[in-house]
Amino acid sequence: MSKKIGVLLLNMGGPEKQEDVLPFLYNLFSDRQIIRLGPAFLQKPLAALIARRRAPKSRENYQKIGGGSPISAMTAQQAEAVEHALATDGNFLVRPCMRYWHPFAAASLMEMSAAEVTELIALPLYPHYCQATSGSSLHDLREQNRKLGLNLPIREIRSWPTEPDYIASLAARVQEGLAQFGNETVQVVYSAHSLPKKFIAEGDPYLDEIRQTMAALEQQTGKQGQLCFQSRSGPVQWLEPSTEDMLIQLAVKGCKNILMVPISFVSDHIETLYEIDMLYKGRAKELGMRLESTRGLNDDPQFISALRNLVLEHIHRS
82: in domain: no
Identify whether residues 288 and 169 lie together within a single domain.
Answer: yes
85: in domain: no
Q: Do 296 and 160 touch, CB atoms closer than 8 A? A: no
Counting the structural domains of the chain, the total is: 2
Predicted confidence (pLDDT) per residue in 72-93, tens digit: 999 999 999 999 999 999 999 9
pLDDT band at 53 (very low <50, low <70, confident <90, very high): very high
302: in domain: no
CA-CA distance, 11 to 7, in Å (whole number)?
Answer: 13
Binding site residue list: 193, 271
DSSP for 30-48, written as a single string:
T-TTT---SSGGGHHHHHH
237: in domain: yes
Binding site residue list for Fe(2+): 193, 271
193: in domain: yes
User: Which pLDDT belongs to residue 2?
Assistant: 67
Low-confidence winner among 1-5, 66-70, 159-163, 187-191 (lowest mean pLDDT): 1-5
Q: Do 47 and 26 touch, CB atoms closer than 8 A? A: yes
Mean pLDDT score of the chain: 96
User: Which pLDDT belongs to residue 1?
Assistant: 47
Pick the closest to residue 294 from 167, 175, 177 (CA basis): 177
- Residue 192 pLDDT exceeds 80: yes
Phi-psi region of 234 (alpha: psi -120 to 50; beta: other; left: phi over 0): left
Strand partners, 259: 188, 292
140: in domain: no
**Residue finishing a domain among 31, 64, 97:** 64
| pLDDT (average), residues 238-251 | 97
110: in domain: no
Domain that holds residue 265: 164-293
CA-CA distance, 234 to 244, in Å (whole number)?
Answer: 16
CA-CA distance, 241 to 307, in Å (whole number)?
Answer: 31
User: Which pLDDT belongs to residue 37?
Assistant: 87
Predicted confidence (pLDDT) per residue in 256-271, tens digit: 999 999 999 999 999 9
Q: Do 9 and 78 touch, CB atoms closer than 8 A? A: yes
CA-CA distance, 165 to 68, in Å (whole number)?
Answer: 30
Pick the closest to residue 314 from 158, 168, 137 (CA basis): 158
- The pTM of this model reads 0.96
Identify whether residues 172 and 53 lie together within a single domain.
Answer: no
Identify whether residues 168 and 58 lie together within a single domain.
Answer: no
Predicted confidence (pLDDT) per residue in 280-292, tens digit: 999 999 999 999 9
CA-CA distance, 194 to 229, in Å (whole number)?
Answer: 5
**Sheet containing 4-11, strands listed edge to edge, beginning at the edge strand earlier in sequence:** 91-98, 4-11, 119-124, 154-156
- Residue 309 pLDDT exceeds 80: yes
Which domain CATH number covers 267? 3.40.50.1400
134: in domain: no
Phi-psi region of 164 (alpha: psi -120 to 50; beta: other; left: phi over 0): alpha
What beta strand segments (E) does 129-221 contain? 154-156, 187-193
